[in-house]
């Protein structure tokens, strides 16, 4: 009986610690004053990204048209004037950033191709973008 209780407690401790490790990996980074986070590889990271989503106002997903997610995407965010505000490396298929209100051009480069979309962020609003690449 003691062995079962200890085993159960150990399993619970491992689960808590592994969730804390994933959460620590999802900690916000800052580039040119812009907080951001990237990840979403595997179910643990995807869950961790969902938990921090409310802290950001720009949500970007990267995928291949055949359905797989795309990681390792170079992201450039430009202001309305076209000047880069910041550049990032999205290590996972999900990328969230906290931007000041305004209009931005979001460029995503993967698989040798660059795509761009416009994001308009109001004071308390959010904007979601999806980028899709052709399979190789």
| 64 CB-near residues (< 8 Å, 6+ apart) | 70, 132, 133, 134, 135
pLDDT, tens only, 39-58: 999 999 999 999 999 999 99
Structure tokens at 91: 């290590």
pTM, whole model, 2 decimals? 0.81
d(CA 28, CA 31): 10
Domains in the chain: ranges and CATH: 2-133 (2.60.40.10)
How confident is the model at residue 97, as a pLDDT? Answer: 97
CA distance linking residue 36 with residue 97, whole number of Å? 4
Q: How far apart are CA 117 and CA 1, in angstroms?
A: 60
Two structure tokens written together for 25: 């990996």
pLDDT in tens, 94-117: 999 999 999 999 999 999 999 999
Convert the pLDDT of each residue in 65-77 to its tens digit: 999 999 999 999 9
């Amino acid at each position: 009986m003691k062995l079962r209780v200890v085993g159960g407690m150990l399993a619970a401790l491992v689960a808590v610690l592994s969730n804390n490790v994933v959460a620590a990996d999802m900690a916000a980074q800052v580039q040119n004053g812009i907080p951001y986070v990237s990840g979403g590889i595997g179910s643990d990271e995807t869950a961790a990204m969902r938990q921090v989503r409310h802290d950001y106002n720009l949500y970007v997903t990267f995928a291949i048209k055949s359905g797989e997610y795309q990681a390792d995407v170079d992201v450039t965010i430009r202001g309305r004037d076209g000047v880069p505000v910041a550049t990032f490396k999205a290590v996972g298929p999900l990328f969230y950033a906290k931007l000041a209100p305004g209009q931005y051009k979001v460029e995503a480069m993967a698989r040798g191709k660059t795509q761009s979309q416009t994001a308009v962020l109001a004071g308390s609003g959010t904007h979601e973008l999806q980028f899709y690449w052709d399979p190789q």
